[in-house]
Amino acid sequence: MREVPLNPRPALSQGLNSARVNVASIRQLTVRYGSFTALSDFTVDIPVGCVGLLGPNGAGKTTLIKALLGLVDPASGSGEVLGADIRREGRTVRQRVGLMPEQDCHLPGMTAVGFVAYAGELAGMPAAQALRRAHEVLEYCQLGEARYRNVETFSTGMKQKIKLAQALVHGPRLLLLDEPTNGLDPHGREEMLELVRDVSHGKDVSVLVSSHILPDIERTCDQVIVVTQGRLVAQGMIKDLKRLEGQPVDIELKDPNGAFLNALLTAGVTLLGEIPLGYRVQAPGRPEETAALAFAAARSTGAQIRRFHVATRSLEEAFLEVIR
C-alpha cells in the first residue's frame, strides 16, 4: 500500500516507481549579469536522489543554485522545481527547498533551538510545530546537547551542522548543499558526509551537493552534473563517468608472467600499460569476452589470475577530462 502524505505538497514517493523522476528541470535558461552570461541556454533535469554539482570556479554553479531558488531573473528560458515555476513562484520554491549556504550564517543573539525554530517559522510552520521540529532536527544533526547554547559560540563544525538543521527544519523535499564540508576537520567532515548520505537515501529527500572536493561527491552522490562556462558538459551516474572508453580491464596475477602477456597479445589483446602485479589491457568486444581470452591465456601459460576487473579512472581524472 502506498503512503499518502498528510499535506498536499508533492511527494517524490508518488512517482518513484516510474523509470526516472526529476525534482527540478531547467529548460534553455539564460542568466546574464550585465554583459556577462553566467548560464547560457542551459538545460538540465535534476533527478531524484543525491546529485553532485561539479564545475570549476566561475562555471555557473552558484547561478544555477540561485536560479533553482527563484532568486535571479533569467533573460530567457524556464524551469520548475518540485512543480513550482522558478520565474513566477520563487517563494513557493523556497518553501519546498532547503538551502545550506557555503558562508557562515546565523541569526545573532539566538540559541540553536531558537534559531532553527525561527527558520521553521520563516518557512511557514506554526510556532509550536517549528519548536518541536527544531528539537528533532538538532538531535538528528548531533547538536542535541548544544541546543540551548548561543549559536555565536559554536565551533566551525557545529555551525555547519546548524546550517544543515535550519535547512531541514521545514521538511524540504530538495536540499541544496553548498560546500557542506567547508572548513571541517577530518572527524567533522566524516560526520557531515554521513549526515548528507543518510538524509539523501531513503528519506524522501533529494540532495544537490555543490562541492570542489571530489571525494566528498563520490562518497555521498550517485550522480553528477558537470557545468563549465555556463553550460552543461556532462551528466550521469558517477560509475558511468569514471568508466574508461573501450572498457579496458585490469588483470592482476600472482606473479607477473611474460608468457601470459604474450599469449594475450597473440589473441589480439592490446596492452595499455602495466599496473602493480599485472596489466591493463583492452580487447575488442565486451569485458566478458576479454575475460574469456585472459582465462584461456592463463590456462595455457600456467599463470594464476588473482583479480580481474573493468578498469576505471578516478572521478578527478574524469572531471578534468570532461571540462577540458
Partner 1 sequence: MSEPNLTEPSPPDTGPVTGPIADLSYRTYDGPLSPPRARWWAIARAASRQTFAKRGFWILTVLGAWYYLVMIVIVFFVEQVLSASPQPTNRAMDFFTRIVWKDQFLHGLSFAQLIFMIVTLMAGAGAIANDNRANALLVYLSKPCTKGDYIIGKWIGVFMPVFVAMALPTFVFYLYGAMTFQSYGFLTADPWMGPKLLALLPLMAAFQTSLILGFSSCFNQGRLAGFAYAGLYMLTNLFTQLMVGVFMNYVSRDNTAIDQVPATVKTFFYASIDGLNIGLTKAILGTHGSPYFGIPSRIPSMRAPELLPVLALIIALSVGATVLAWRRVRAVEVVG
Widest Cα–Cα separation across the chain: 76
Angle formed at CA 206 by CA 144 and CA 75, multiple of 5 degrees? 120
Which of 140, 149, 197, 256 lies at the binding interface for partner 1 (CB under 8 A)?
140
Which of 28, 30, 37, 129 lies at the binding interface for partner 1 (CB under 8 A)?
129
Residues 184-223 that bind partner 1 (CB under 8 A): 198-199, 203-205
Nearer to partner 1, 71 or 305 (CB): 71
Nearer to partner 1, 204 or 218 (CB): 204
Which helix (H) or strand (E) segment is 219 a member of?
A: helix 214-220
Q: Please report which residue ranges of 105-168 form alpha helices under DSSP H.
A: 112-123, 127-140, 156-168
Shortest Cβ 238–partner 1 spacing (Å): 23
3-state secondary structure of 310: strand
Residue 69 in contact with residue 94, Cβ under 8 Å? yes
Shortest Cβ 69–partner 1 spacing (Å): 7
104 binds partner 1 (CB under 8 A): yes
The CB density around residue 245, as the number of other CB atoms within 10 Å, is: 8
Give the separation between CA 93 and CA 98, rounded to whole angstroms.
9
How many residues of this chain bind partner 1 (CB under 8 A)?
54
Which of 14, 73, 75, 139 lies at the binding interface for partner 1 (CB under 8 A)?
139
Tell me how far the alpha carbon of residue 220 is from its chain's centroid: 6
Q: Which stretch binds partner 1 (CB under 8 A): 128-136, 221-229, 258-266, 308-316?
A: 128-136
258 binds partner 1 (CB under 8 A): no
Residue 213 in contact with residue 190, Cβ under 8 Å? no
136 binds partner 1 (CB under 8 A): yes
Residue among 290, 284, 324 nearest 309 (CA): 290
Nearer to partner 1, 64 or 294 (CB): 64
Q: Which stretch binds partner 1 (CB under 8 A): 116-124, 253-261, 286-294, 312-320?
A: 116-124
Shortest Cβ 190–partner 1 spacing (Å): 18
In 185-302 the beta strands, taken as DSSP E runs, fall at 206-210, 223-228, 231-237, 249-253, 270-275, 278-282
Residues 143-182 that bind partner 1 (CB under 8 A): 144, 152, 166-171, 176, 178-179
Shortest Cβ 14–partner 1 spacing (Å): 13
| Radius of gyration for the alpha carbons in the chain, expressed in angstroms and rounded | 24
Q: Which residue has the cell 533535469?
A: 45
Residues 31-70 that bind partner 1 (CB under 8 A): 62, 65-66, 69
Q: Tell me, letter by letter, the H, E, C secondary structure of 5-35.
A: CCCCCCCHHHHCCCCCCEEEEEEEEEEEECC
Which of 6, 186, 245, 324 lies at the binding interface for partner 1 (CB under 8 A)?
6
List interacting residues with partner 1 (CB under 8 A): 5-7, 9, 62, 65-66, 69, 71, 91-92, 94-95, 98-99, 101-109, 118-119, 121-126, 129, 133, 136-137, 139-140, 144, 152, 166-171, 176, 178-179, 198-199, 203-205
